[in-house]
Amino acid sequence: MEYIPVLIMLGLGAIVGVAATTLSNFIGPRVPHPMKDQPFECGVPGVGNARQRVSVRFYLIAILFLLFDVESVFFYPFALTFKKYLAVSSFIVWEMSVFVGILLIGYLYILWKGALEWD
């Protein structure tokens, strides 16, 4: 019984979404033009084939960025609780030191492997 308002909101959201899509198909203007049918991105006209191969380096750097970016989020709770728990125990400092050490070893490993080199 307590989920009925949530179900009502989900239903209303679905109805509004379907209604807006359906009405835009019926009411919206349709003026086809060859210029409108061309692919367009960021104000730069398309050049060449869109199905060309992309270097694996793009994906590797993106994955490494996500990996280190997500792990850096763990510094925020440490910074918030540093002063509060430092007087009680220095365990949190040693734990964060181990975490930073593991991150540093991982970063040095990818530098050693040349993962960030762009040839």
| Structural domain range at position 27 | 4-45
Tokens of 68: 């280190």
Same domain, 109 and 67: yes
Domain count, the chain: 2
Tokens of 54: 């992309």
Same domain, 65 and 40: no
pLDDT tops 90 at residue 4: yes
Three-class SS state of 4: helix
> Residue 18: what residue type?
V
Closest CA to 77 of 102, 104, 95: 95
Tens digits of per-residue pLDDT, 8-18? 999 999 999 99
Helix H or strand E segment including 83: helix 75-86
Tens digits of per-residue pLDDT, 38-67? 776 676 776 777 778 878 888 888 888 888
Q: Is residue 107 part of a domain?
A: yes
The whole-number average pLDDT for the span 70-83 is 82
The whole-number average pLDDT for the span 99-115 is 91
Same domain, 66 and 41: no
Mean pLDDT of the chain: 84
